[in-house]
Amino acid sequence: MLSNESEILVVDDIEDNRYTLERRLKRDGYENITLVDGGAAALELISERQFDLILLDLMMPEISGLDVLKNLKSDPLHRNIPVIMVTAADEVETAAECITVGADDFITKPFNKTLLRARVAASLEKKKLRDQEAIYLNRIEKDKRKSLDLVRSFLPKSAASEIKSLGKVTPRRYEDVAILICDLVGFTKFCEDNSPETVVEELETVFGLFEKVFEEYSIEKLKTVGDAMVGVSGISNEADEPVYDIAKCAVALSELSKTREIKWDLHLGIHFGPVVAGVIGQKSMQFDFLGETVNTAFNICGLSEKNDILISNDAWMQSRTDIKVTSIGADKLRGNHAVEIFKCIEVI
């Protein structure tokens, strides 16, 4: 991308600073410059438009530059936009904190035109390289999908059809499986306080509603584990967007609780990855799936707050343009396995 095509956002509550930066940037050949006078306006604009660089004033009323920066870096869709903090000469320590949070660089007032030119150019070059890397990764993903589609063309569409034709299910490793764990909050206490008949009747009622939602979004109910139901996409049925289907299903399940169609709050966790699946047992057979992906899905579910939907980075990356999220950080799950986890805000 040529410099004069770069989209640059200047955020400063002082008009003189905004126009000084605009004038100097235009002298260096940058034409597409947008000016805003505060953090709230900047965040709103960033949600609507794409920018290649943000020059962000540190000290602003209402929403500080540091808070704007933290907001951007917690959003995986905007965290890769380069940010140069604009600070006063005596704000170096706070500027250093901004670098720690994720700012690419900082420039002090009054502006040194040589430093400004160099730091803007360097930040835009980094953005260009990141964009090229994203294009490369998208090509790899498309090639991978084509390869997997070729492999799937040699496999049965479902375990049921294989059992019907061969009388057995051959154990397999499935590479692209989306998993949803849905757990009832407080059901263990309910079991202790009620008769077995009441417990089973309530569980059947709730899981019956869950199964209708699963069917609506073409999600396979693989099994129940106590008061948790496990749904998958990508094992028995072919799915173009397994994570997206699972996420839509999770939202619908959450709505059952929020509208009090069921009286239970839910824990919801989504993960994506490879699993080994097959029929386990001889006298009492069960089609099951195994592996680290399954364990991680249960762990993520266990971290969720009531009716929140948590999704791993591996899962979100599969449908990142259709699922709006905010990062809750990298959690060290059981087995010392660190995974970045996001809270699902909206499924488009």
Does residue 260 come out as left (phi exceeding 0), alpha (psi in the -120 to 50 range) or beta? Answer: left
Structure tokens at 213: 């939602």
Structure tokens at 246: 């699972």
CATH architecture assignment, domain 156-347: 2-Layer Sandwich (3.30)
Give the C-alpha separation, 304 to 297, whole Å. 11
Average the pLDDT over 103-111 and give the result: 90
Of 221 and 178, more confident: 178
Average the pLDDT over 86-100 and give the result: 84
Q: What angle do CA 115, 120, 121 make, to 5 degrees?
A: 100
Q: Using an 8 Å Cβ cutoff, are 98 and 106 in contact?
A: yes
pLDDT of residue 150: 46
The alpha helices in 28-112, defined as continuous H runs, are 39-48, 65-74, 92-101
Choice among 149-163, 242-256, 280-294, 299-313 with the minimum mean pLDDT? 149-163
The percent of residues above 90 in pLDDT, for the chain, comes to 60
HSE on the CB side for 201, CA within 13 Å?
Answer: 5
Q: Using an 8 Å Cβ cutoff, are 42 and 12 in contact?
A: no
User: Taking the model in full, what pTM does it have?
Assistant: 0.62
Give the C-alpha separation, 325 to 156, whole Å. 35
Of 95 and 314, more confident: 314
Of 184 and 171, more confident: 184
Q: Using an 8 Å Cβ cutoff, are 140 and 51 in contact?
A: no
pLDDT in tens, 115-159: 999 999 999 998 888 888 888 888 888 877 665 554 344 333 455
- Model confidence at 161: pLDDT above 80: no
Q: Using an 8 Å Cβ cutoff, are 219 and 233 in contact?
A: yes
Tell me the Cα Rg of the chain: 25
Give the C-alpha separation, 8 to 319, whole Å. 28
Integer angstrom CA distances of residue 108 from 39, 115, 175, 205, 318? 19, 9, 50, 63, 40
Please give the class, per CATH, of domain 3-131.
alpha beta
Give the C-alpha separation, 73 to 92, whole Å. 20
Please state the domain extents for the chain: 3-131, 156-347
